Chains A and B, each alone.
Chain A
């Protein structure tokens, strides 16, 4: 009895001992650490297959085979899934993902995919679109087109006389001579309707095209004009200058163009923003 009393009485004394304090504190720290690290290890060694994962596996199976998976199929798929997950985690633990081009590229792709199209798609107001239309007018412009007839005087046939022959024929044509019977045969067409200027360059060469483009529509024959092929007299009946489509007519095109470019710019900007958070060192340029 006395012993017991003695023991009870000694407790408060012990509680006041600094050594005991130290041991108790150490034990607490140790226990706490043990508890926390144990839980972390448990978490690291847990593969959790969620209902969501199961549904996804099932839908992939359904899409590939056209039928719902049986119980057996599900077990097999979950086993495969677990296998992949475990191996991937082990690989990461051993840092096998580092320095692997395919992994790096896949991650970069995922990141690009993640940042893409994050910018809110805004609907531009008419003013914005108008500005866009004006700033990029060339994209909404129909090319200059010329409707014309021509008489051809071959230098291969007539030599240096081709030009004077053409000059002589000019007056006759304007006095009403039959243009179809004037000059030499021409391999391509004698009449062109709404020929885009770019097309004329391909058919006659640049010099003729320049002269043709500068000839106003009229009822009369003009020339001679030299092409890469010979000498021509021309009668231009329509010369439509490059024609900016009216805004209302081009609106859809403008909108599509604006959206396209805005999206592309926003995506590139997002990536540039991420890059700007890094310091880039290139050995030999700004590195060591």
Chain B
């Protein structure tokens, strides 16, 4: 009795503390200040280092992750990124492939943040709700109904009153902010206070599935507010930007990064506002002020482009996933992909004088199990017990079947594997060029868009554009320094002088991954797009086809060993043969590795069964840089 009373007293004392801290209005990040005072950290490089990280991680505090049986915390997530082994909800160990990351960010859904764990903790008010009893009952129908109710609320933005306990939500948000502060080690490991804003477009009136994914992750450079704006405040992302503008004015620098435009049903880059109004310059300015970056690849597919949009891009059909979230509805293609958005942005710029799609590129895993699966050879997908086994992911035939021809399609596990999980990817990571590994330097790189996105490996890629560049620079020891002095890096605007610019593209393989095959420039104008091979591992591209010759690289599918030489580095100075000084153009670099086994092939090989026939056996891992935008001068 005494113990219980003490425990209660502690709980109430904590609750009281939570209340008083919210009055202070903002949190402090002392470490940041300390780092600034002591100056530069070890490893500082004025010509910038490449740092790798994952900006999109969920833990038990996310309403969906908890239902997927995820019990790992933000602390566990950061420990995973630092190289420690943590446990998957299905019971096996997860260790990060390729060694620790340089930065990592927990982005739990702000909607009902921490509410499900509280509902599952006996003794809390939330655990007494009838919905809690259903949610944690042993009857799948009840669990599903209760969970879908929550999903519906998140989608419609209409809170379930008795579950929408802001005290709990805000206090778990402050816990996540505190965990980010705790693990931040300037010079070694960077974290940010961050969360996911989870909105989708206009659900239908019956509360059925309404539409496209408009999710965004929100990142604070240093200080974070005591409350996180969620889709329960408004499902309109423009309202989120208003709120972010207010935070910024209060001294809390913030950006948001949208993701999975591929399943936005054409809404992420739609040429109208959320409410269907025409776009205008105020919209474009606000969007770019708040959203300088877009997540282009993650577990739920890659959003660079689609074969229907880019019929002349032989590599466009890469990890395409277009089924709207949690449904079997295939979303609209137009308005869902990044390359088309670049083109529409230029069109809007030329016709109306503004570009709402002037963004750079990053990548992440969106793992819901606290740790990202970036390696094809060691994959655990992302939604806990739901896709935690090769059978659930459909990489091996359902138990009791003899092969891929007799799968029981009426079995929901088999159907979900076919429609969803078999088509998900072991992707991705964000690369950042920054002077040092601190919140300031990395966030500033976000703002400059000096970022690149990879589908998992840690290949590094530089991209510069300038007017005074020449071939001699390629052999100079201080190439990067000269390029910074005489040009702009990825993410920059190259303002015309009348001359033709030159570009330097430079990629280095992941020392612990596969070799490189080719370096490509993707050129986008308001009229079209072009993919140009600019460097090959086997000689120079054919100028008539603008393609490398086939290097014959292949993979031994019985062991998943690549059969190829490949390049460790690819480096080139490239001039656009069709350059028009009077026309805007957007250039970005795509780096392709030689082929390697897809995760599903690795799992089939280990299981001794043939790879699933309706997904590719091999993939070419890749990296995308943020663009350089050529803008005619004068």
The stretch that binds B, out of A4-12, A86-94, A102-110, A271-279, is: A102-110
Could you tell me if A229 and B511 are in contact, using CB atoms closer than 8 angstroms?
yes
Provided the pairs A156-B537, A156-B568, A227-B511 are in contact, do residues A106 and B480 lie with their beta carbons within 8 angstroms?
Answer: no
Could you tell me if A202 and B512 are in contact, using CB atoms closer than 8 angstroms?
yes
Q: Quick check: is A204 within 8 A (CB to CB) of the other chain?
A: yes
Q: What residue in chain B is nearest A186 (Cβ atoms)?
A: B477
Interface of A, secondary structure class, is helix
With a CB–CB cut-off of 8 A, which chain B residues contact A31? none
Could you tell me if A198 and B122 are in contact, using CB atoms closer than 8 angstroms?
no
With a CB–CB cut-off of 8 A, which chain B residues contact A188? 49-50, 460, 508
Could you tell me if B475 and A205 are in contact, using CB atoms closer than 8 angstroms?
no
Q: What residue in chain B is nearest A194 (Cβ atoms)?
A: B42
Q: Quick check: is B458 within 8 A (CB to CB) of the other chain?
A: yes
In angstroms, Cα B50 to Cα A207, docked, is 21
The stretch that binds B, out of A177-185, A246-254, A280-288, is: A177-185
Name the one of A63, A103, A193, A229 contacting B509, with C-beta atoms under 8 angstroms.
Answer: A229
Could you tell me if B569 and A154 are in contact, using CB atoms closer than 8 angstroms?
yes
Q: What residue in chain B is nearest A63 (Cβ atoms)?
A: B12
Could you tell me if A230 and B460 are in contact, using CB atoms closer than 8 angstroms?
no
Name the one of A109, A156, A208, A229 contacting B122, with C-beta atoms under 8 angstroms.
Answer: A109
With a CB–CB cut-off of 8 A, which chain B residues contact A63? 12-13, 15-16
With a CB–CB cut-off of 8 A, which chain B residues contact A194? 42
Q: What residue in chain A is nearest B462 (Cβ atoms)?
A: A187
Q: Quick check: is A60 within 8 A (CB to CB) of the other chain?
A: yes
In angstroms, Cα B80 to Cα A100, docked, is 35
Name the one of A59, A198, A202 contacting B458, with C-beta atoms under 8 angstroms.
Answer: A202
Q: What residue in chain B is nearest A209 (Cβ atoms)?
A: B511
Q: Quick check: is A201 within 8 A (CB to CB) of the other chain?
A: yes
Q: What residue in chain A is nearest B11 (Cβ atoms)?
A: A63
Q: How far is the CB of B158 from chain A (nearest CB, A)?
A: 27
Provided the pairs A102-B127, A205-B511, A229-B511 are in contact, do residues A190 and B477 lie with their beta carbons within 8 angstroms?
Answer: yes
Q: Quick check: is B100 within 8 A (CB to CB) of the other chain?
A: yes
Q: What residue in chain A is nearest B510 (Cβ atoms)?
A: A228
In angstroms, Cα B49 to Cα A208, docked, is 20
Task: State which size class the interface on B falls in.
Answer: 35 or more
In angstroms, Cα B16 to Cα A59, docked, is 12
A interface residues, tally (CB under 8 Å): 40
Q: What residue in chain A is nearest B482 (Cβ atoms)?
A: A185
In angstroms, Cα B506 to Cα A35, docked, is 96
Provided the pairs A101-B138, A201-B512 are in contact, do residues A185 and B479 lie with their beta carbons within 8 angstroms?
Answer: yes
Could you tell me if B477 and A156 are in contact, using CB atoms closer than 8 angstroms?
no
CB contact list, B584-620 vs A, under 8 A: none
Q: How far is the CB of A40 from chain B (nearest CB, A)?
A: 22
Could you tell me if A114 and B3 are in contact, using CB atoms closer than 8 angstroms?
yes
Q: How far is the CB of B433 from chain A (nearest CB, A)?
A: 11
Name the one of B16, B458, B474 contacting A185, with C-beta atoms under 8 angstroms.
Answer: B474
Q: Quick check: is A189 within 8 A (CB to CB) of the other chain?
A: yes
Q: What residue in chain B is nearest A204 (Cβ atoms)?
A: B511
Could you tell me if B122 and A154 are in contact, using CB atoms closer than 8 angstroms?
no
With a CB–CB cut-off of 8 A, which chain A residues contact B8? 56, 60
Name the one of B100, B512, B568, B570 contacting A206, with C-beta atoms under 8 angstroms.
Answer: B512
Q: What residue in chain A is nearest B535 (Cβ atoms)?
A: A156
Could you tell me if A185 and B475 are in contact, using CB atoms closer than 8 angstroms?
yes
In the complex, 5 of the A-B residue pairs with CB atoms within 8 angstroms, ordered by the A residue number, are A63-B13, A103-B122, A185-B476, A185-B571, A205-B512
User: Residues of B at under 8 Å CB distance from A?
Assistant: 3-5, 7-9, 12-13, 15-16, 42, 45, 49-50, 83, 98-100, 122-123, 127, 133, 136, 138, 458, 460, 462, 474-480, 506, 508-512, 537, 567-571
Instruction: List the 6 closest pairs (A to B, CB-CB), nearest first.
Output: A205-B511, A228-B511, A106-B122, A63-B12, A185-B479, A229-B568
18 further A-B pairs in the complex, CB-CB below 8 A; given A184-B475, A189-B45: A60-B12, A63-B13, A63-B15, A63-B16, A101-B138, A103-B122, A110-B4, A113-B7, A154-B569, A185-B478, A187-B460, A187-B462, A187-B506, A188-B50, A188-B508, A201-B511, A202-B458, A228-B509
